[in-house]
Structure 1
Amino acid sequence: MKAEALKGHLDGLLLAMLEDGPLHGYAVKEALRDTSGGRFDLPTGTVYPALHRLERASLITGTWSVVGGRRRRTYRLTAAGQAALGGERDHWRQFADAVTAALKAGSWPATN
């Protein structure tokens, strides 16, 4: 699935990947791919800028560490991020319910 299809939902998805605990940036990308059954296999050029945006918004916080001689930035949810994730889930449920209702077979009015 293309990154454009996730517009408006990417932040919530990234926050959800961090709900169970801190992950480094690439692990966030891989968790999103794995939990979506490979459907959300986004390029790093999409994921990292979104993580930076979430960090600037104080929804996640990042710390540097060295693992195997490589520097990695590990991200975790903040309290504000946890609250934002709850809001994203509520918004998604409302949106999904509305789309489901609109696409329900036989729910469209006749045009003649």
Structure 2
Amino acid sequence: MSKDSPFPGSWQRAMLPMLLLAELSTGHAHGYALSKSLQDRGFGPIKGATLYPALAKLEASGLVETRWEEGQGGPGRKVYELSDSGYAELESHRANFDMLAQLVRTTGR
């Protein structure tokens, strides 16, 4: 666990794909904006070496679609958007996460 995040690194790696899908469910974004939003919400800093491979896997799986946006006075950037199958996958992740959270809350009582 880092001082910047309440979650151990293994949890961050496991939760990142689901959280990226959730972020993209509100609209398209580029990688830096996704990282910044998650950090602002308390997830902790995400290194590019972690973020971009996760986004590439989501793209390769067909869960996100990408396009290049022209830069304003700078280089262009890749923009990510949730695909229809990405929305379905997110709903599945949310349901499974809810079941897991319920299991953690009720086990051992």
Same fold by TM (over 0.5)? yes
CA distance in 2, matches of 1:54, 1:17: 13
1:83 aligns with 2:64: no
CA distance in 2, matches of 1:95, 1:7: 17
Partner of 1:3: 9
How far did 1:29 drift? 0.7
1:21 aligns with 2:27: yes
> Is contact 1:3–1:42 with CA below 8 Å preserved after alignment?
no
Q: TM-score by structure 1 length?
A: 0.83
Higher Cα radius of gyration: 1
* Of 13-22 and 26-35, the range deviating more from structure 2: 26-35
What secondary structure does 1:76 align onto? strand
1:46-57 superposed matches below 5 A: 46-57=50-61
Unmatched segments (≥5 aa) in structure 2 = none
Give the share of equivalent positions with the same residue, in percent: 31
What secondary structure does 1:63 align onto? strand
How far did 1:4 drift? 1.8
Partner of 2:47: 43
Residue 77 of structure 2, aligned match among 50, 72, 78: 72
CA distance in 2, matches of 1:73, 1:3: 26
1:92 aligns with 2:93: no
Q: TM-score by structure 2 length?
A: 0.86
CA RMSD of aligned residues (A): 1.4
Letter aligned with residue 48 of structure 1: Y
What secondary structure does 2:56 align onto? helix
Unmatched segments (≥5 aa) in structure 1 = 108-112
